[in-house]
Amino acid sequence: MRKIPVGILGATGIVGQQYIQLLQNHPWFEITWLAASERSAGKSYAEAVHHRWLLHIPIPEAIANVKVHSVEDASEAKKHCDLVFSALSGHEVEQIEENHAAAGLWVFSNASAHRKTSDVPILIPEINSHHLAIIPRQRQRRGWNTGCIVVKPNCSIQSYLIPLYALHKQFKIKRAIVTTFQAVSGAGHPGVASLDVMDNVIPYIPGEEEKSEWEPLKILGEIKGDAIEPLSSMVFAAHCNRVPVLDGHMACVSAEFEKKPALEEILHVWQNFRGAPQEQSLPSAPEQTIVYRHEHNRPQPRLDRNTHRGMAVTVGRLRSCPVFDVRFVGLSHNTVRGAAGGGILNAELFISSREH
Ligand SMILES: NC(=O)c1ccc[n+]([C@@H]2O[C@H](COP(=O)([O-])OP(=O)(O)OC[C@H]3O[C@@H](n4cnc5c(N)ncnc54)[C@H](OP(=O)(O)O)[C@@H]3O)[C@@H](O)[C@H]2O)c1
């Protein structure tokens, strides 16, 4: 099969670097376009990330000398690729992504800019693959021919929403309180100053609690006409903390159900949970999306973030809750499942179910 040429917008940042790594030897995709801000445009990739390459592997040889382009060049990007992964930060993301979709590219974004846009799906392939059905309407409304925008949620959400969704299907969740412990890599590079975060916990991440409470409701919502209508029967309260961990976002969850499940039933549901990535054998699908650890002191970021190549959610400490019904701890790798790996899985799902 001819590989699909793909680009990375924001290729020089933390998430962009993770895309470079995860797309090496990808069976379907081949990197043919790199773009970032004017600061990096015109440089080779190696020059652009000089002193800020953060991964444990060297910059892949095939990428080091590739020229970084400006993200302003959407029509030029379309000549080189069919699909772009957006790992952009900054104020112009919304417009830049729309320019690429208007140029005919499929845009798979990690940024928050379009998460609230009513005809843009926030996709977690195990949960709401059916939301891809809004793409033809998105194109029609905006006059886009082949282009489209699909986004993934905030980086901490997969750590608690995937295990909750698995239970919601049978037992209907009414409300949940989620307290997150989020790694420093979640803030991009250079991110939080070391003098602020070392030996410390910062109980505030701008904008994060609102995203953690609202995005799950859109993901669990339904397409009504030209929009995705968020679920109204569930409510989340979030406390988001920045902790001195490099990678891996953890969430402590207490949840209340319409029909309280027994702990054994919950374990059974998690162990047997499968979704579209496994059913369609997508290349980046974890063998098991939810991995339960029975040890009392798991999950832990350092030990569990790389489970199934960083694409699984590790869950532990399931017990009853004296205030709500049950409580547990979830953990996922924020720059893999929570960012680049999640973006790639979204693109694989899109390609695999392409009547779009
Ligand atoms: N880090 C995570 O765990 C994580 C998880 C999920 C989602 N996200 C989201 O993914 C995006 C990237 O995050 P990150 O952590 O990789 O950030 P980052 O390390 O700060 O990288 C940002 C990237 O965007 C480019 N950029 C910044 N301002 C720009 C502008 N005005 N015009 C064009 N390009 C611009 C940068 O290019 P230069 O290098 O040329 O400046 C760089 O390539 C953000 O929207 C973030 O919210 C991050």
**In the chain, what percentage of residues exceed pLDDT 90?**
97
Whether 138 and 120 have beta carbons less than 8 Å apart is answered as yes
11, 332 Cβ separation under 8 angstroms: no
In which residue are the tokens 């999306």 written? 289
Q: What is the DSSP string of 13-79?
A: SHHHHHHHHHHTT-SSEEEEEEEE-TTTTTSBHHHHTTTT--SSSPPPHHHHTPBEEETT-HHHHHH
Q: Please indicate whether residue 68, judged by its CB atom, sits closer than 6 Å to ligand 1.
A: no
Over 160-211, what HEC string results? Answer: HHHHHHHHHHHHCEEEEEEEEEECHHHHCCCCCCHHHHCCCCECCCCCHHHH
Average pLDDT over residues 106-111: 98
Q: Is 38 exposed, middle or buried, given 0-12, 13-18 or 19+ CB atoms closer than 10 A?
A: exposed
Average pLDDT over residues 165-169: 97
pLDDT tens-digit profile of 307-347? 999 999 999 999 999 999 999 999 999 999 999 999 999 99
Identity of the residue numbered 17: Q
Q: How far apart are the first and last CA of the chain?
A: 19
Distance 200 CA to ligand 1 centre (A): 25
Using DSSP bridges, classify how beta strands 222-224 and 227-229 pair: parallel, antiparallel or unpaired.
antiparallel
Q: What is the mean pLDDT of the chain?
A: 97
Give the per-residue pLDDT at 334. Answer: 98
Strand order of the sheet with strand 4-9? 68-70, 29-36, 4-9, 83-86, 106-109, 148-151
Structure tokens at 265: 């039933």
Residue nearest to atom 33 of ligand 1 (CA): 37
Tell me the Ramachandran region of residue 300: left when phi exceeds 0, alpha when psi lies from -120 to 50, beta otherwise: beta
Averaged over 203-212, what is the pLDDT? Answer: 97
Whose CA is closest to 212, among 256, 272, 252, 184?
A: 252
92 CB under 6 A from ligand 1?
yes
* pLDDT for residue 20 is more than 70: yes
- The Å distance, Cα 295 to ligand 1 centre, comes to 36
| Residue 112, pLDDT score | 96
**Which residues, 6+ apart, have CB-to-CB distance to 275 below 8 Å?**
125, 126, 127, 129, 289
State the catalytic residue, choosing from 100, 155, 168, 308.
155
Catalytic status, residue 240: no
| Contact between residue 166 and residue 172 where contact means Cβ atoms under 8 Å apart | no
Measure the CA–CA gap between 211 and 267, rounded to whole angstroms: 28
User: How much is the pLDDT for 303?
Assistant: 98
- Dihedral sign for Cα 1, 147, 158, 37, please: positive
Binding site membership of 88 for ligand 1 (Cβ less than 6 Å)? yes
Contacts 24+ apart (CB under 8 A), 59-62: 59/20, 60/20, 60/21, 60/24, 62/31
Examine the pLDDT at 1 and tell me if it is beyond 90: no
Catalytic residue, candidates 69, 114, 131, 249: 249
Pairing between β-strand 4-9 and β-strand 83-86 as defined by DSSP bridges: parallel
Mean pLDDT across 201-225: 97
| pLDDT tens-digit series, residues 75-97 | 999 999 999 999 999 889 999 99
Burial (0-12, 13-18, 19+ Cβ within 10 Å), 1: exposed
* Centre of ligand 1 from the C-alpha of residue 201, in Å: 23
Instruction: Please indicate whether residue 81 is annotated as part of the active site.
Output: no
Mutate to test the pocket of ligand 1, among 8, 12, 15, 50 (most ligand atoms within 8 A of CB): 15
Backbone phi, psi, residue 308, to 5°: 50, 55
Q: 345, 311 in Cβ contact below 8 A?
A: yes
Residue 87 CA to ligand 1 center (angstroms) comes to: 5
Q: Identify the pLDDT of residue 143.
A: 97
CA 79 to chain centre: 27
Average pLDDT over residues 55-74: 96
Amino acid at 220: L
pLDDT of residue 356: 46
| pLDDT tens for each residue of 240-298 | 999 999 999 999 999 999 999 999 999 999 999 999 999 999 999 999 999 999 999 99
**C-alpha dihedral, 98 to 104 to 8 to 46, nearest 10°:** -110
Count Cβ atoms below 10 Å from residue 168 Cβ, excluding itself: 22
pTM over 0.95: yes
CB distance 192 to ligand 1 below 6 Å:
no
Residue with tokens 């054994």: 264
Q: Residue 355: its pLDDT value, please?
A: 53
- Cα-flanking dihedrals φ and ψ of residue 151, to 5°? -120, 165
Picking from 61, 63, 62, 28, the residue whose alpha carbon sits closest to that of residue 48 is 63
Ligand 1 centroid to Cα of residue 274, in Å, is 31
